[in-house]
């Protein structure tokens, strides 16, 4: 059998945890091979070993039957192995083109030769349908675009083995479809793809074979076409998973959050990012703002949570005007926020789990006395949340957050924000990058908040989540609310039409 890459009996340990315990993975030439597992199952670690970011304690890696030693990512690149990481490795104040050629620049007499590079990049982008603007700065483009830049980086380096680590965690449904097409195209060109994910629909859509890991151990490799989603999810979680969201009908109470005619200017253009938006969220209901990424959702959330000022309009929480309040004052008024970018706005990565858990409470008498932190109290509090929300980490409450898996970082934020017992919970992409077991859990938490009479504002790009979790759907398009829909009365297709702007309805606030 011709395997292009074989990882045989790989073991990788970190303090307090065996991330990979005797794992074997074999990739055939020209196949899309999915790597499936819960958050913290060891998928990213295994791929980081293949990409030379970690050295395994045991095991060998072979390329085309020959044993190879991969000491660092440059060795991996030499062997034709490229990787798109879950959290992109891009330089934000460089342009798209500069990022793609970074590290493999062609120079003449000490000057960069950009013309040939630009031509090659445009060629690749046309060949693979990866449309990008080479002169845009990374910080000005959407995550979907950033991902295309990462893929182009691999293609520019002529990598033949492509590792995608959770590539769809940050994409819109339309972008995901696009990516699936791109992946199939790459396979037709003879590239071999390793695809880390925990979204079973995507595995069914593109993968040929699938290897399942659970808690660091190898469970098995299956042929995707002949294995059902239910079977794969059971291999992954070790139990049956409920794919439907269990919830009773909402009983909305009085208005909790009122947004009146809010306008937010755009950083990137003269158009308004949020254009005269008005809506309400009542106690005891989950209102979801649905839209394709980049239609003003982020700016709207920043405005509601106090991260950016608004140009005009008013924001009321429980009848109180909070428009001019700072972030902490809004929190103290009862606003919790699960941010869309957990690394940028949700956590301080070099702090411990305990320090992150008390970020919004450290100044209260519970955790400080005359300006000194009560570490014992903080530690007890964190242990309670670890227990309650099943947050997994190598060293419990003392773990540095940077070393935790993305899904467990997300659970930590959810735990902290829900435990504040908020009046309104603003949850932005709360299940981004989570596995089915964790998604099921977070959906239950959102519904529980609602059933306790709290208001929940959910911002999501996942159509399934929008349809299953929300009681009311507001569609945002180009900074305006273009529809107010009842999830029970519309189809996913209709929702897609509103989101793409090809359909709108008169919205009554």
pLDDT digits (tens, 9 = 90+) for 52-95: 999 999 999 999 989 999 999 889 989 999 988 777 788 888 98
**Per-residue pLDDT at 509:** 42
For residue 264, what pLDDT is reported? 92
Higher pLDDT, 270 or 300: 300
% pLDDT > 70, the chain: 97
Q: Give start and end residues of each alpha helix (H) in 102-237.
A: 114-127, 143-156, 173-188, 200-206, 229-237
Phi/psi of residue 170, nearest 5 degrees: -110, 15
**6's tokens:** 């074989």
For tokens 């709108």, the residue is 504
Confidence of residue 279 (pLDDT cuts 50, 70, 90): very high
At 165, is the secondary structure helix, strand, or coil?
strand
Q: Which residue has 């227990």 as its token pair? A: 387
The CATH number assigned to the domain with range 242-334+422-509 reads 3.40.50.300
Domain ranges, ordered by start, for the chain: 3-237, 242-334+422-509, 341-420
Q: How confident is the model at residue 506 (pLDDT cuts 50, 70, 90)?
A: low
Q: What's the confidence (pLDDT) of residue 241?
A: 66
pLDDT digits (tens, 9 = 90+) for 352-368: 999 999 999 999 999 99
DSSP tag of 224? S
Q: Three-state SS across 295-331?
A: CCHHHHHHHHHCCCCCCEEEEEECCEECCCCCHHHHH
User: Would you place residue 384 in the very low, low, confident or very high pLDDT band (cuts 50, 70, 90)?
Assistant: very high
Q: Whole-prediction pTM value?
A: 0.67
User: What is the CATH code of the structural domain delimited by 3-237?
Assistant: 3.40.50.300
Residue given tokens 């435990």 in the structure block:
419
Identify the CA nearest to 343 among candidates 406, 386, 280, 400: 406
What is the Cα–Cα distance from 343 to 372, expressed in whole angstroms? 27
pLDDT at 139: 84
pLDDT tens-digit profile of 109-149?
788 778 888 888 888 888 877 788 888 888 887 777 888 88
Q: How confident is the model over 168-220, as pLDDT tens digits?
A: 766 666 778 888 888 898 899 889 999 998 788 889 999 999 999 988 899 99
Distance CA 272, CA 310 (A): 11
pLDDT of residue 508: 47
pLDDT of 309 > 80? The answer is: yes
pLDDT at 243: 62
Residue with token string 């590239």 = 191
- Burial of 256-280, coded b for 16+ CB within 10 Å and e otherwise, reads bbbbbebbbbeeeeeebbbbebebb
Query: Rounded mean pLDDT of 382-405?
Result: 89
Domains 3-237 and 242-334+422-509 share a fold: yes
| The predicted structure's pLDDT at residue 507 | 56
C-alpha closest to that of 88 among 159, 41, 141? 141
Which range of 178-182, 417-421, 492-496 scores highest in mean pLDDT? It is 417-421
Q: 349 and 402 in contact (C-beta within 8 Å)?
A: yes
Q: What token pair was written down for 436?
A: 């089915």
């Amino acid at each position: 059998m011709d395997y292009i890459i074989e990882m045989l009996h790989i073991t990788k340990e970190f303090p307090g945890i065996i991330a990979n315990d005797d794992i074997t993975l074999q990739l055939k030439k020209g196949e899309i091979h999915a790597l499936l597992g819960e958050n913290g199952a060891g998928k990213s670690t295994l791929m980081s070993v293949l990409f030379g970011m970690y050295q395994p304690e045991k095991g060998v890696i072979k390329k085309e039957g020959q044993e190879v030693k991969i000491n660092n990512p440059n060795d991996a690149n030499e062997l034709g192995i490229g990787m798109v990481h879950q959290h992109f490795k891009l330089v934000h104040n460089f342009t798209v083109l500069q990022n793609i050629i970074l590290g493999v620049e062609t120079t003449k007499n000490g000057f960069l030769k950009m013309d040939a590079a630009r031509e090659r990049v445009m060629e690749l982008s046309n060949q693979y349908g990866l449309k990008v603007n080479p002169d845009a700065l990374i910080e000005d483009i959407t995550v979907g675009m950033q991902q295309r830049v990462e893929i182009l980086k691999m293609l520019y380096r002529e990598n033949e083995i492509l590792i995608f680590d959770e590539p769809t965690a940050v994409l819109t449904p339309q972008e995901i479809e696009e990516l699936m097409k791109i992946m199939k195209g790459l396979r037709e060109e003879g590239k071999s793809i390793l695809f880390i994910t925990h979204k079973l629909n995507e595995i069914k859509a593109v993968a040929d074979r699938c290897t399942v890991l659970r808690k660091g151990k190898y469970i098995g490799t299956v042929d995707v076409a002949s294995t059902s989603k239910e079977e794969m999810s059971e291999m992954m979680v070790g139990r049956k998973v409920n794919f439907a969201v269990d919830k009773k009908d909402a009983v909305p109470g009085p208005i909790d959050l009122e947004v009146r005619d809010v306008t937010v200017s755009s950083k990137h253009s003269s158009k308004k990012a949020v254009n005269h938006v008005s809506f309400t969220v009542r106690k005891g209901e989950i209102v979801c703002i649905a839209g394709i990424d980049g239609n003003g959702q982020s700016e709207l959330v920043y405005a509601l949570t106090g991260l950016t000022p608004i140009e005009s309009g008013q924001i009321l929480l429980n009848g109180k005007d909070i428009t001019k309040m700072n972030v902490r004052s809004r929190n103290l008024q009862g606003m919790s926020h699960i941010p869309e970018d957990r690394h940028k706005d949700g956590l301080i990565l070099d702090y411990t789990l305990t320090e992150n858990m008390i970020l919004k409470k450290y100044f209260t008498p519970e955790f400080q006395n005359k300006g000194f932190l009560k570490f014992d109290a903080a530690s007890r509090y964190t242990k309670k949340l670890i227990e309650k929300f099943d947050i997994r980490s190598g060293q419990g409450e003392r773990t540095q957050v940077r070393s935790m898996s993305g899904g467990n970082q997300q659970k930590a934020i959810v735990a902290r924000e829900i435990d504040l017992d908020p009046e309104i919970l603003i949850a932005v992409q709360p299940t981004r990058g989570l596995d089915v077991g964790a998604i099921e859990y977070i959906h239950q938490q959102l519904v529980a908040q609602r059933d306790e009479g709290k208001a929940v504002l959910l911002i999501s790009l996942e159509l399934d989540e929008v349809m299953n979790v929300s009681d009311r759907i507001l569609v945002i398009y180009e900074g305006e609310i273009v529809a107010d829909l009842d999830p029970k009365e519309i189809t996913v297709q209709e929702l897609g039409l509103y989101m793409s702007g090809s359909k709108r309805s008169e919205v009554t606030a």
